[in-house]
Every structure is written in structure tokens, then in C-alpha cells.
Structure 1
Amino acid sequence: MPQTALRTSVLFNVVDFNDGGIESSLMQWLSILDRSRFEITLAVMYASPAFVSRFRALIPQDVKVEILVDRPWLNYFQSRRYARKLSKPGRIGRDVFNTLAVRPHIRRRIAALAKRHDVIVDFDMSLRRWASQFDIAWLGVNHFSFDARLGNRPRKARRLALQYARYDAVIALNQHMADEAKQMFGDTLHRLVVLPNAIDIDAIRASASAPNATKAPTAAPYIVSVARLDEIQKDHRTLLHAYAKMIEDSDVKDDLVIVGNGAFKQELEALAVQLGIAPRVHFVGHQDNPHALIANARAHVLSSRYEGMPMVLLEALAHGKPIVATDCPTGPREILDDGRAGMLVPIGDVDAMADALTRIVTDAALRDTMTANALARAQHYGIEQSNRRFAACVTDILAVRRGHQSAKAAAQSPARS
């Protein structure tokens, strides 16, 4: 084994960096893992513009970084995709080129890196076609509701089941997600492990006062939502209708601040105008550091139809924010401890969301109680407990592999006379 000075060498892999929850959760793991136990390398397939301009400088200095597609000619189609210049014929050409050139190159790079590591953590399962190869332990991390993504796609679910079975373990971010996987894949997976996302609570709080933290766009008290503007998943329409009902039915002073970009921005801005709430709804776009907006809000709201394990809720807990979240698959109920660390409302229920938000902004005692509960719940996802869970997972997987290797060697050795 390539363990160095009793440290386990871990290779994290991800396709690229944009501005989603996967990137946020990966950055937290890279920061919080116990360096006395783990030596860390990050493999990134493509150096995306967001990686080059922002994330690369944020990666801890002791984390070795490997760009897998490291030759300009291999990046031609991906560069055009990032520049939004990839036509339909270009996408066909990209698929052919990836099959013939890019994938073999990535496979060679992973095979070489595997020789220097004990474990591959395939953080977005983008290497699943090669999982189980290269004589190394493989962990595949799933970030989304299996049912929401695959429930109506049985053929794809069957194909993925065969690929997921190649991992030594598939990581589910919460028990609900694990239960979905058991129901969908049965006993085809070698092992299913619940490993929640992790947070550095002190660093999250410090980010709120950093020079690049975004300041509030209003002098009024406000409710904040941090999510990309994607109505297929995030359902800001329900949030806007709930906010309109809230200010119509109650004399509340709070504005609504929506952090995030996406294809539905113009539609949502038009809906705010239609509902007569536009002067009090502030669309501030994507923010690299929204923590001051979260820390200074009166409440945080998540209106999603489905999730995996939303990092923004963990960050809101770290800031001690009163939270209203839809009781959607799969993350909010577990994160909010069955409603003890925040209010859960049904998906798409305008009245319930409006009522919950009204209660929070009008009841200071309730806010104080919710803040105390949020801060206590945040510790469950903090550095100490997260390291304990990760170490136990990796230790168990490596022990199983060593057992299999010992049994195989014993079976192959000649029988003693």
C-alpha cells in the first residue's frame, strides 16, 4: 500500500468547477480533513474558467492538484463549451472525440495516479466506467435524490446499477438517499455508506466579515434565499407567491433577497412585477461570498422540489439562522433534525411557506429558539464529527480490501505437503 508515514493517501476526483453545491461540499472536505491521517490530492478533469479564476486559489496549499486533460488539443471542444460556442454538430464531434481521444487519456492519467494513492473518492461519479480497476479502493459519491433523478428512468437506473456496483462503496449523503438507493438497486451495490457533507463552522462565520463578502442590497430587514434560478428544481415561483401572500396578509417589513443566477431569471423578475412585489425583491445574482447576506438575514428559505444535501442549509445552520425549507427529497428533513432545527413545509405549498416565514419574522422569541437549535445542529456536520465519519468509512473499506487480497493470496498459494 502507498501509505506514507501512517497517513492514508486519498485522491479526490471531479469533472470541473462551476458554482454548484458539489463544488462547495468538495472544497469543505479538502479543507477539513485531518492532515495527520490523510494526504490529499485533487484530480480535476478540466480547468474550467471558474476553477482558474476563483477556486484554484482557494484550494489548501498542501493539496496536490492534477489537471487530467492537460493538453491544449484535448481541450478544444470543452473550451468551446465553456465559451458557449459549441453547436449541435460540435456536440456530436465532441462526443466522438471524447470517446477516441479524451477518455483514453484520462484513463491513463488515473491509472498512473492510482499507483500513488490508497483510495479514489470519485466525488461526482464521473469515473464510474473505470471504478474497480487499478488495484485501488474506490468510493463513489452521489449528491442527488436517486428517486428524483432516476425514478422515471428505469433503463438508465439499470445501467447505472451495473456501474455503481463497481465501487467498493457508494456514498449517500443522508439516510433518505441511502433508503432510495436500497429500494432502487437492491443488493447490487457492494456497500452503501451514509456520509454527510462537512462544514468548517469557524471558517464559514469568518467569511461573513471578509472583504469580498456581499453586503445587503436593502436597509430593511430581509429574508434570504441562496440557490441557482432553476425552476425545475429550486421552485422560486412558490417562494415569490408565498412572499406576496405574506406581505399582503401581514404588516411585515422584511424584503426578500434572492442570491443566484440561472436561465429563469427574467421569468422570475417578471413574476415579481406581476405580483406587485418587485420593489421589495432583490435579485443580486451569483455571489462568490454570500455569507454576510446569510448571516445578517432574519431568516433563510429553501423552496426546492428536490435536493441532495444542500450545502446552503448547512451554512445557514453555522450562522444560526432560522430556516424554512421544503420537506423535499432528500436533504432538508435530516439536516433540520426532523424539524427541530428549522421549519419544514410541503413542496409547492404557498400558504404553508408564507405562514412559516411570517411566524419567524414576527416572533423574536421563536427566532431566538431557532437560532440556538440551528447552532447546536451545525456541530453534527462540523470538523470533528465529519473527520470521524470519513476515517471510519475509509478504514473499513481498506480493511475489507486487505481481507479479500489475503484470501486471494492464500487461495493461490501452493498447498503445503
Structure 2
Amino acid sequence: MNNALIEKFRIRQEKEDVSVIIESIDKGVVFKGTNLWVLIFAIFIASLGLNVNSTAVIIGAMLISPLMGPIMGIGLAVGINDLPLLRKSIYNYCVATGAALATSTLFFLLSPLDDAHSEILARTSPNIYDVLIALFGGLAGIIATSSKQKGNVIPGVAIATALMPPLCTAGYGLATLQFYFFTGAFYLFIINTVFIALATFITTRFLKFPFKHLPDKKADTRAQRIIWGIVILTILPSIYFGYDLVQQDKFVKKANQFVELEAKFPNDYLLQKNIDPKKKSITLTYGGAEIVKEDIARLQQKLKSFDLGNASLEINQGFAYLAAVKGNTENNEQAERLNFILKAKETELQALQHKMDSLQQFNAQGRQLFDEIKTQYPDINSLVLSAGNDFKSDTISRPTVLVALSFSGKRSSTDKGKIENWLKTRLRNNALKVYFQ
């Protein structure tokens, strides 16, 4: 039973001939002619998708892109000790990256739209999940390439690992001189590159691809040293990237938990929250009553309870902060955003206050009606007064008022008519609905 189960996971029986695999990857490494033009057009399509915030267009560009070729070539070359293939893969990887950056930068320089939509913003802050996607996507890609049953895995890997959008976002950062976008997006592209190449390297060693040796022993030793040097240089950043991203992700989770559970003040509401895991800073902007220094100091002390003792907490509050922000021309956009949030909160509070006033008015009015009816009909037990909507077949709802009355004894139709007419006059509402229980 165990042997049969293990047999299902064996992949060496389905492995393609090694020479066929190497030839297939080697063909995809070179960027010239058709491959280079396909890459340029794919970059234009992806940049257009980012520009108009269209996920479907971006996915289409990722399907077209041949960017994975040189990256898998690097991993394969390291795995089989093929120095010429490694040189060729690195050279073509640099050519492809340079062409992609130049194309996307040119597109965003010419485009009249320069807003950073959600599809662009999503590529500026890599996290641990991007590392895992690149690693598992790379494993799926090289295993499918090495198998006789390739199926449709490669297009899926191209979409999952998402090499194109980060490069285009980096071009957007260069074109708009927003280097935060460039560094964040290019960082994500490097992460994808490192882990796809690492996955290819691991798989080639696992599948026992034949190691290449040079005729000259000294040259062979030198080549192996170069290869292993590149392996180490590849693995060390990947370990750092992985550790750094895990730590950043932990910081963001703890900071959000801290804000949700502790950062609450009476008569104040949170306008804006900014958590920066790289600087380990938390900036909170409040609107409402002034927050005293003692409360801020008490909140800062609670950071240790959430393992955020080394984090800095900054509290901005009130209209004084907005005035200070407005005084700085560099922060006009932030001031407008905060004003918009503040107005939205005020509108929300006004709506809630209106609802509360309506409820209080109905409660007072209901009690008054009950007392007045009880003087005429002492056997009344209860009165329910509520606002509602009258829905009919024409699909148009009409606001109305509902009154439900309960008496100990039965009421005659004459009494019911008198009570209903009295209620309509008393409440000045002919659309009133009266129900006797």
C-alpha cells in the first residue's frame, strides 16, 4: 500500500530526455529577433493594463512574455555546471531586463495617464507570499519542462510568478520620478528571479541531470568555483529576502492588532493609519477631541505588550495637524485626502445622529400615544410605533408609519375605526398603517 502511494509521486519515470530538456531551455534563453520583439510588445500590453487598471490585459501580457527563459537558463546552468550557458543566460537576462525597463519607461513618459492605480500599488510592497509564489511557481515550471507530459503548466506559471508587472511598475517609477515605486517593484522582480532560478537549480539536482566537466582539470575546477560562487550569491540574498519579508509581515500583523485593540480614544475617530515595516513606525491620525499627552504615553507603553517595543508611534490629531500639513506645499495631496476622510466621517456621524434622533423621537411619541389612548381605553396592553416601507408590485417603496395595538378585550369595528382615525389625525399621516392584535 505504502509503495503504491509512493509510486504515485515518482516523476523520474516521466522525465524527458535530458538533451531535449536542455535544448528546450537553451532556445528560450536567447533574446533577439522574434523573442525580443515579443517581449517589447508584451511590455507595452502590460504597461497599458497597469495604466488603465485592467487585470485581464495584464494577465494577457504575462501569457505572451518570454521572460522566464533566461531565468530558468541560469538555474539550469548552475545545476549542471554549464559555464557557457550561464554566461549566455545572464547576458540575455540583462538584455531582456534593460529592454523591458526602457520600453515601460517610454510608455509611461508618453501616456497622458499617470495615476497609480491598485494594479501598480500591488507591485510596490513585496511580502513573504511573493517569495513562496516564485519558489513554487519555479518548481512547477521546471518539473513541467522536464516531463514528457508538459500540459498547460508553463502559461500558468507565467501568470503566477508575475515577472512582467513588476518590471512595468519599475518603469512607471522611473518615468514619474517616483523612486519608491521603482525600488519596490524592482525588488519584487529580483525576488521572483532569484527564487525561480533557485527552484530550477534544486530540481535539476534532484532529477540528477548530468554534471558537465571541462577537459582541462584546472579550467573545470575554476568553472565549478565560479558556479558555486554564483549559487552562494544567489542563495544568500534569497535567505535575506525571505527572512526580511517574514519579519516585515509579522510587524504589520502585530501593528494592525495593536491599533485595532488599543489605539482607541473617547470622542476621537481614526482618520488615517500608516504602518511602515521597514522603518518600524506606526503613524495614526485622529479627528475629534484633543488627546492628552498622558494618554499618548500610556498607548506607547502598550507597544511592548504586542512585541513592538522597538517601534516608533506617532500620533497626529485634530485640525491643527491638518493646518500644519496644508502649510507645507509638498503635503497638499495628503491634506486633501485627510480632509476628504474627515468630511466622510462627519457625514457618517450626522447620518447616525439623525437615526438616533429619529429613534428617540419615536420612543417619546410612542409613550405619549400609549398614555393618551389608555385614558380612553384602559384595557390597552401595548402599543408599537415604528417607521417602515410599503412595497407593492410596482417595485416602488413608499415610507409609512406602522402602529400595532394590543387590548385585553375585543374591540368592535366602530372602536377600531375611531382609533385609526384618531391616530391619523394625531400623527398627521393618512398613510398610517394600524394593526390590532
Tell me the TM-score normalized by structure 2: 0.22
Q: Which has the higher contact order (CA 8 A, sep 6+)?
A: 1
More helix by share: 2
Q: Report the structure number with the largest CA radius of gyration.
A: 2
Tell me the TM-score normalized by structure 1: 0.23
